[in-house]
Structure 1
Amino acid sequence: MPRCRRGYIHVVNNDFTSWKMYAIGGSGNPTINSQGNRYAAPSDPSAKEVTKRVDSKDDGEWANWNWRTEGDLMENGAFFVASGQEMSSMYSKASSLEPKAAAQVDQLTRNAGVFGGPRDDEGQSGDTYTGYGGGGGEGGGGGVISGGGTSAMGGTTRGSSSSNSDDFFGMVFGSNAPPPRPRLTLFFSLLMICILSSSTLLLW
């Protein structure tokens, strides 16, 4: 996820896996409300923290920034550093919908994100615990990151949320529909050739 600057950000029912530096970064005192997400930390012991306060001189500067986790699953040693007021009215501005339980993230994000490689959930292991506040609640939709008037549906964030080294041109986007059967494709191709050639002959 890109760095959040100022504003109110609601991170809901996403799947963050194997980030390089952080899963949620922020600067300029943003309000971040993280609910019903799964954070599976990478194996690098120095990259287990979900959050990162960027461009802040010391802890005292960001101690009053309102960042909270509620109903999130932390796996493989991931941890969220909350700050500010736990029950601030500011979080109502950083809420776009009711989150589903974090245990449903696989189901909510099954068809979301980039296609081209198999989804690797088998390698996840380690301690799992729920963020403060217990479960994620009922209702709503899944896979939303919203803030500053924008929202992104789909919630699967694979690889690095803060690294620019990914091969963006190698990504394949598409639906989860199966590819057409070769016989059907061949039939329609031949049908189109026949139609085009017969219409060309009629014009001559």
Structure 2
Amino acid sequence: MAVISPLASPMPAHYSWETRWLHWITALLVLEQFVVGQIGWHFMARTAALRPFMVVTHTSLGVLLAAVFVTRVAWGVTGGRAIRFPAVTFQDRAARGVHHLLYVLLAAEIVLGYMARWSGGHPVIAFGVPINSPFPAMAHETHHLFSWLHHWGAWTLLWVALLHACAGFYHLLFCRDQVFQRMLP
């Protein structure tokens, strides 16, 4: 009687549909947030008529991103229907490390976004509903620090996400090991 190793058993063809949708919604929202944030705060004049719309879009979809992130973390912590891989090789550990880094960066970026708005004396507006700061007024330097951290956190998150995407394409084009296909809708 042969003993079958769990590593020798075939892996599922896809992650669960919930996991895949949460992944792609997160990816789209992160990309949208980066683009709208850069345009609204760095490329558009403060007096531009479209700027308030860009700011409200950024904060509204930022709140949506926070909700998706919390859902994604809850889905992962409760087991979800994800594929569980053992971290055996250096590549496995690096992939797991990048995933954890993406979660940490995303959580930090969400918190910093709220703090950047609130420290400047502005509510976070979510689809027309203001979310006021639970904190007392903050110094201008504090607002500048949160805004600076949020800006550079966005760039860091973008570059790590691009590294993650490049790794996926590496698996698709060179390894041909079906890793990329498991996350396709």
More strand by share: 1
**For the pair shown, which has the larger CA radius of gyration, 1 or 2?**
1
Q: Give the TM-score normalised by the residue count of structure 2.
A: 0.28
| TM-score normalised over the length of structure 1 | 0.26
